[in-house]
Amino acid sequence: MTELSSSRIFSPVSIGSLELKNRIVMAPMTRSRSDDGGVPPDYAADYYAQRATAGLIVTEATNISAQARGYPRTPGIWSDAQIAAWKAIVDAVHHRDGKIFLQLWHTGRMSHPDMHEGGALPVAPSAIKPHGQIRVHDGMKDFVTPRALETEEIPLIIEDYRRAAHNAKLAGFDGVEVHSANNYLLEQFLRDSTNQRTDQYGGSLENRLRFPLEVVRAVIDVWGAERVGIRISPVTTAPGDTPLDSRTMETFGTYLDALSDLDLLYVHDIEGVTQMSRVETGGVSFATLRRRFKGAYIANNQYTLALAEATLARGDADLFSIGRPFIANPDLVGRLRAGAALAEAPKEYWYGGDATGYSDWPAMS
């Protein structure tokens, strides 16, 4: 094995007031192990603590309310039982000297009536049906046309975000990440293909930015900007295969300007389409977007150690988030440092199940 401990990727780094052990971030990954009430299992504390050698852990996407749910067995942060379960997880990570942020999530139209009480329709900025299918309790089903939110409902969702941020503080997290990526609710408001509203939350780019920025401000009210990050995905096409925005670079450049003015701790950018490619499309330049934001920049999507080192040397990112390799390699940081081989997790263990294929992966001998 080649010892790589001299790499800057493994050196301690500070972003804002947050001291991190290294520049590797465990990316948020939905694993679908919570119960039907959105309560993470006891063994989730082992799962996260085992990976606490990462400089920062960002949890799996966590629903801010019952209305926010889109997929089975995903965790929440609106009930006392959920808060208690997350506190046990946070305590386990802190016991291993780790840092952990909770990712706040509302799926919007990326949901299905089967996920909601009484078969209620998912909500969205506009009544536009997504392409394809979604996984629910009993398998895959076609997406439905969501219900467009009434103007007076939007402040209620902002309060759901505020309450979720407060609950994350009660659970002891080190901060929170606002999920504004992958065509979930905040991005649905941002994009001109999914937001066709005619009130103050639709139409012009300024109006389309209004709801996401109001959410971010509400979360900042709870945590302070120095403990709030945000995740974006400028070139994602999910759930279809066509661009979601007619002027992607203008949309996200203006968004990042506004987020930078709010002094957020970091932006977490999915550079490309998750699990597919790192291609810059629609006139998007990841390096240019990085320069539009004055806080820390976390780069994500198919990063290897070599790519991370080259990107860091150019000054195009500060930290690097890695997802799937963390599934089967709880000691991923140590393996990368030592140049050791990485285990691979079969896809059958990615979503659903129990501790098997989740918190039982062995570390290096």
Give the number of other CB atoms < 10 A from CB of residue 310.
11
**What's 27-63 look like in SS3?**
CCCCCCCCCCCCCCCCCHHHHHHHCCCCCEEECCCEE
Distance CA 176, CA 219 (A): 8
Catalytic residue among 47, 71, 161, 184: 184
Query: Tell me, what DSSP letter sits at residue 124?
Result: E
CA distances, 339 to each of 3, 27, 306 (Å): 6, 21, 11
Residue 184 bears catalytic tag: yes
Give the number of other CB atoms < 10 A from CB of residue 227.
22
**What's 244-272 look like in SS3?**
CCCCHHHHHHHHHHHHHHCCCCEEEEECC
DSSP assignment of 198-239:
-STTSSSHHHHHHHHHHHHHHHHHHH-GGGEEEEE-TT--TT
Torsion sign, CA atoms 317, 320, 321, 322: positive
Which DSSP helix (H) or strand (E) runs through 336? helix 332-338
The residues carrying an active-site annotation are 184
